[in-house]
Chain A
Amino acid sequence: MYSQGLINSDTQIEESQEFLDAFQARIDAEEKIEPNDVMPQAYKKMLVRQIAQHAHSEIVGMLPEGNWVTRAPSLRRKAALLAKVQDEGGHGLYLYSAAETLGVSREELTEQLVTGKAKFSSIFNYPTLSWADIGAIGWLVDGAAIMNQIPLCRCSYGPYARAMIRVCKEESFHQRQGYELMMSLAQGTEKQKQMAQDALNRWWWPSVMMFGPHDAESTHSDQSMRWKIKRFTNDDLRQKFINATVPQATFIDLKIPDKDLRWNDDKEGYDHGPIDWAEFWNVVKGNGPMARDRITARKKAWDEGEWVRDAAHAYAEKRRAEKIAAE
């Protein structure tokens, strides 16, 4: 039981235009919406959808990086990677708690994840094939995540905004650490440099796609902006990411795999080549190279851990019964 006492959890409220307008007025006045406040069902639904997807991404995101924890090539890197993956698990935990304030339990969400019903960021459906992928993920994937998440620190829903403030601090540390890893490879031996370039080649486009479809095709975008869950459009954020990342690649002498990439003076940003949306949608639909393996791995951990969770429950029950008996 996580969400008892939240008056809005299951109460059906008549959503008159007056009610919706009053809610919008609160949003427009930059008031934070808190768990016990009345809110339109659609607002709540949109938040649950987004927070759950975000939480699942953090959890599934532990797997591609965890894949290299046991092979990290130095003790310093091993410790840093282990700490990073642990941070991601912590992000998952804050986000599941934020979802719980909206009446959705962690068990429910985990069930959706391990049965393959939940969505998570499609970037994690790609495999990590070399040590350099750990650098590329930190630099690009955490980098893209920050672009998305910094505006979420001002999200209209209080618990989500507060979770994001904590998460963003850590993500920006991950981004710097990933870039520093790439830099040491790029300045290393010929083989290390090749490894770094290959990782950039493979992770660049999936990272650019992390911002989601173009604004015109993004279904939930408008309402999400009106409710100030989202503050910038997908394309705006993507542009910011590209503008920030291209000079970083140049600085360490790596080449972004986009032959159409060039500076555009008029818009004071980079123009980029066409995005392969067929691939994007294919991966979103669950056909990424590692999609099945990710779910299988989470399901395996969950199923094999059942007896442990049962034991913890049984133990807690016994202690509770003893306490009641003693009173």
Chain B
Amino acid sequence: MSSNLTQALLELADDNLILGHRLSEWCGHAPMLEEDLALPNMGLDLIGTARTLYSYAGTIESNNKSEDDLAFLRDEREFLNCLLVERPNVNFAHTVLKQLYFSTFMKLYWNEALNSKDEIIVGVAGKAKKEMSYHIRHSGEWVIRLGDGTTESNKKLLEAVDALHIYTNELFFDTPNNIYFIKKDILPSRKALKSKWEKEINSIFKMAFVPYPEFEGELSGGRLGLHGEELGHLLASMQSVHRAHPGAKW
């Protein structure tokens, strides 16, 4: 496989779009009005980042594609997001925990990406890093509140950790394609971020009375386009109107 930046950018863009989409599913159904505003707001940040990355990917390596071509006209097997972001919302505990896992990772990632030799990536990183700080604060505070709230909320949080932690290892997977760009100082290494990430998650888990999961093992495959069954339904809904009107402008 020849190295291509398109694929590396799509991994990042798909992560952002799919998680942004999941957050948007909360719109109007959150546990309180403040969260009806906060969850879609975080979704907007992620979708905004995805748009910039898709637009960039569309212009390089003779792709000649628009952001919408990339978001709406690729099939399940062509999406390269990690499995964590496509996990269904289930409940508020799953949602805030997923958000904490992802934003803690992405803040570290964008922070390193500030040193990229690619100016566009540096630009995205500068904006996204600030947004991730807010997402960490918001989701981290909720994880602590749920963990240190009631017996029920603590139980729901532990269930979420049990369900989602197994997907986190995939966050640190550098694909052979990406290693080429890591060596060229275009992209940061994901693998290198793992110990910092664990430390940060652990410090929040302590405050939330959540024992840090000991188990080994992982579920992965997203970067190869091998997803869970839920992603197909998300895409079926997301792409339905766009695909029903081939060539139409919106």
17 interchain pairs, CB-CB under 8 A: A69-B25, A72-B241, A73-B248, A74-B242, A82-B24, A82-B47, A85-B28, A89-B28, A93-B37, A188-B248, A191-B245, A297-B29, A300-B29, A307-B156, A308-B146, A311-B153, A315-B148
Which size class do A's interface residues fall under?
35 or more
The 6 closest A-B CB pairs, nearest first, are: A305-B31, A311-B149, A311-B153, A308-B31, A62-B28, A66-B28
Residues on B with C-beta less than 8 A from A119 are none
Contact A73 B241 (CB under 8 A): yes
Contact A305 B40 (CB under 8 A): no
Contact A71 B27 (CB under 8 A): no
Contact B72 A92 (CB under 8 A): no
Let me know if B36 is at the binding interface, CB within 8 A: yes
Most buried by A among B91, B156, B241: B241
Select which of A66, A93, A313 is within 8 A of B33 by beta carbon. A93
Select which of B31, B43, B51 is within 8 A of A304 by beta carbon. B31
Q: Binary interface profile of A, 275-310, with partner B (CB < 8 Å = 1, else 0)?
A: 000000000000000000000010011001111111
The tally of residues in B whose CB lies under 8 Å from a CB in A reads 49
Let me know if A86 is at the binding interface, CB within 8 A: yes
Q: Binary interface profile of A, 115-137, with partner B (CB < 8 Å = 1, else 0)?
A: 00000000000000001000000
Contact A75 B146 (CB under 8 A): no
Let me know if A213 is at the binding interface, CB within 8 A: no
Q: Whole-angstrom distance from the CB of A86 to the nearest CB of chain B?
A: 5
Contact B250 A314 (CB under 8 A): no
Residues on B with C-beta less than 8 A from A307 are 150, 152-153, 156
* A93, B36: Cα distance in complex, Å: 10
Residues on B with C-beta less than 8 A from A75 are 17, 47, 50-51, 54, 67-68, 71
Select which of A89, A90, A306, A315 is within 8 A of B145 by beta carbon. A315
Q: Whole-angstrom distance from the CB of B191 to the nearest CB of chain A?
A: 30
Contact B152 A63 (CB under 8 A): no
Let me know if A218 is at the binding interface, CB within 8 A: no
Given contacts A74-B250, A93-B33, contact A312 B245 (CB under 8 A): no
Residues on A with C-beta less than 8 A from B29 are 66, 297, 300-301
* A315, B144: Cα distance in complex, Å: 9
Q: Binary interface profile of A, 57-82, with partner B (CB < 8 Å = 1, else 0)?
A: 00100110010011111111111001
9 new A-B pairs (CB below 8 Å) besides A62-B36, A79-B51, A315-B148?
A71-B241, A75-B71, A77-B250, A93-B33, A191-B248, A309-B32, A314-B150, A315-B144, A315-B145
* A141, B249: Cα distance in complex, Å: 24
Let me know if A201 is at the binding interface, CB within 8 A: no
Residues on A with C-beta less than 8 A from B27 are 62, 66, 69, 82, 85-86
* A232, B24: Cα distance in complex, Å: 38
Let me know if B164 is at the binding interface, CB within 8 A: no
Residue ID in chain B nearest A319 by CB atoms: B148
Interface residues of B in 44-95 (CB under 8 A from A): 44, 47-48, 50-51, 54, 67-68, 71-72, 91-92
Residue ID in chain B nearest A311 by CB atoms: B149
Let me know if A192 is at the binding interface, CB within 8 A: yes
Select which of A79, A131, A304, A310 is within 8 A of B153 by beta carbon. A310
Let me know if B7 is at the binding interface, CB within 8 A: no
Let me know if B115 is at the binding interface, CB within 8 A: no
Interface residues of B in 143-165 (CB under 8 A from A): 144-146, 148-150, 152-153, 156
Residues on A with C-beta less than 8 A from B72 are 73-74
Select which of A73, A188, A305, A314 is within 8 A of B30 by beta carbon. A305
Most buried by A among B51, B92, B149, B237: B149
* A310, B17: Cα distance in complex, Å: 31
Residues on A with C-beta less than 8 A from B129 are none
Q: Whole-angstrom distance from the CB of A300 to the nearest CB of chain B?
A: 7
* A78, B31: Cα distance in complex, Å: 23
Residues on A with C-beta less than 8 A from B2 are none
Given contacts A86-B37, A96-B33, contact A312 B241 (CB under 8 A): no
Q: Whole-angstrom distance from the CB of A26 to the nearest CB of chain B?
A: 33
Contact A311 B145 (CB under 8 A): yes
Contact A301 B31 (CB under 8 A): yes
Q: Whole-angstrom distance from the CB of B64 to the nearest CB of chain A?
A: 18
Interface residues of B in 7-42 (CB under 8 A from A): 17, 21, 24-25, 27-37, 40-41
Contact B250 A73 (CB under 8 A): yes
Given contacts A70-B237, A75-B47, A82-B47, contact A90 B37 (CB under 8 A): yes
Let me know if B240 is at the binding interface, CB within 8 A: yes
